[in-house]
Structure 1
Amino acid sequence: MRIAEVSQKYDISADTLRYYERIGLLPHIRRTSSGVRDYGQADLARVEFIKCMRSANVSIEALTEYMQLFERGDETLTLRKQLLENQRDVLRDRIAEMEEGLKLLDYKIAHYDDLIVAAERNMQQ
Structure 2
Amino acid sequence: MLIAEVSEKFDLSQDTLRYYERIGLIPRVNRNKSGIRDYSEEDCRWVDFIKCMRGVGLPVEMLIEYVGLFLKGDETMDARKELLIEQRMKLITKMEQMKKVLERMDDKIERYEQTIVEKEKTLNRP
Q: 1:121 to 1:45 in 2, by over 3 A?
A: closer
Instruction: Write the mapping of 1:1-125 to structure 2, written as runs, cut at 5 A.
Output: 1-123=1-123
1:22 shift after superposition: 0.5
Q: Distance in 2 between matches of 1:80 and 1:119?
A: 58
Unaligned runs of 5+ in 2: none
What TM-score do you get using the length of structure 1 for normalisation? Answer: 0.88
1:116 shift after superposition: 2.5
Q: Which amino acid aligns with 2:23?
A: I
Q: Deviations over 1:8-48 (max 9, x none)?
A: 12211110100001001123211122211111222122112
Cα RMSD for the two superposed structures? 1.6
Q: Distance in 1 between matches of 2:55 and 2:84?
A: 14
1:77 shift after superposition: 0.9
What TM-score do you get using the length of structure 2 for normalisation? Answer: 0.87
Unaligned runs of 5+ in 1: none
Q: 1:21 to 1:122 in 2, by over 3 A?
A: same
Q: Distance in 1 between matches of 2:12 and 2:2?
A: 13
Q: Which amino acid aligns with 1:88?
A: R
1:79 shift after superposition: 0.9
